[in-house]
Amino acid sequence: MNGKRVRLAVIIATALGQYDFQQIKAVRKRLGLTQQELADMIAASQITVARWETGVKEPKGAYLQALKELTKRAKKNSEKQEIDGLRDRIA
């Protein structure tokens, strides 16, 4: 998936309150986190994150809420990078 498609998929998933394994991995990578770092942030195990990213399991409850918050952060970071990129091209 290219960046725009990933962004759109994450926005749609957030609106629907759902995630698929590709979206979880995309958000994690956009934030520059390893599976272990993401797991530590949301009090999960690395194996759990790996299972979400491969579609073996789906996040629920508090984990789903934590991923929603991370998605918001990833979206903000992405928008900031786009703005900074535009500023660099103008300058």
| pTM for this predicted structure | 0.66
Instruction: Report how far residue 40's alpha carbon sits from residue 28's, in angstroms, rounded to the nearest whole number.
Output: 12
Query: Most confidently modeled of 7-11, 20-24, 82-86?
Result: 20-24
Q: Give the pLDDT confidence score for residue 53 in this predicted structure.
A: 92
pLDDT at position 1 over 60:
no
Contacts of 58 (CB under 8 A, 6+ apart): 19, 52
User: b vs e for 57-69, b when ≥16 Cβ sit within 10 Å of the residue's Cβ?
Assistant: eebeeebeebbbe
Q: Give the pLDDT confidence score for residue 16 in this predicted structure.
A: 44
The residue count for the chain: 91
* pLDDT tens column, 28-84: 888 888 999 999 988 999 999 999 999 899 898 899 888 888 888 778 777 767 676
Q: Give the pLDDT confidence score for residue 13 in this predicted structure.
A: 55
pLDDT band at 22 (very low <50, low <70, confident <90, very high): confident
